Amino acid sequence: MATPNGYEALVQDQGPSLFRRALLLSHDWHLAEDLVQETAVTALMKWKKVQAAQDPAAYLHTMLTNDFLSRARKRSFSEAPTEIRVPDTVDPWVNLDNELQVAEGLSVLSPIERAVVIGRYMDDQPAAQVAERLGRTESWVRVTAHRSLAKMRATMTEAPAGGVR
């Protein structure tokens, strides 16, 4: 089966940012890889929908976030990693300078709170866009973001340079 026109370019272009989002959401290197791979496969199966989207890259990020949240709601997802597990050999295209420090703060948040913080502050999306992606109201996103940042500040030992404020 030949891949549709534009699919490979989109997935390769969005791969690093999808992986970053998945790693920050899941705190698990291998689960992050699985989430990115599952998103790529789903995008291929639903390519016409992805291509028809106003912003195909945002559509992929929404697919990944929804897949993570769906997994988090399942009973078998009750594990709570205490730190990000990074393999001995790190891919060179992944920039983990501040992410590991921010991950410490993100680890105290619920999956939905993590999705809000990552969307609002790490992806710099307006509250309306995050609300639409998560199927919530804009005011809920603003309140959740505010409360989540307070939780993070309480646990982070040192704020990352240019990080969450």
Fold category of 1-76 in CATH: Rna Polymerase Sigma Factor; Chain: A (1.10.1740)
Q: Note down pLDDT in tens along the chain; length 165 residues.
A: 678 889 999 999 999 999 999 998 888 889 999 999 999 999 999 999 999 999 999 999 999 999 999 988 886 655 555 555 555 555 544 555 565 667 778 888 999 999 999 999 888 889 999 999 899 999 999 999 999 999 988 887 555 455 554
Element holding 15 (H helix, E strand): helix 7-26
Q: What is the domain class of 96-156 according to CATH? A: mainly alpha
* DSSP H stretches of helix in 27-110: 29-45, 47-52, 56-73, 99-106
Please list the residue range(s) of the chain that carry CATH number 1.10.1740.10: 1-76
Please list the residue range(s) of the chain that carry CATH number 1.10.10.10: 96-156
Q: How far apart are CA 78 and CA 56, in angstroms?
A: 31
pTM above 0.75, yes or no: no
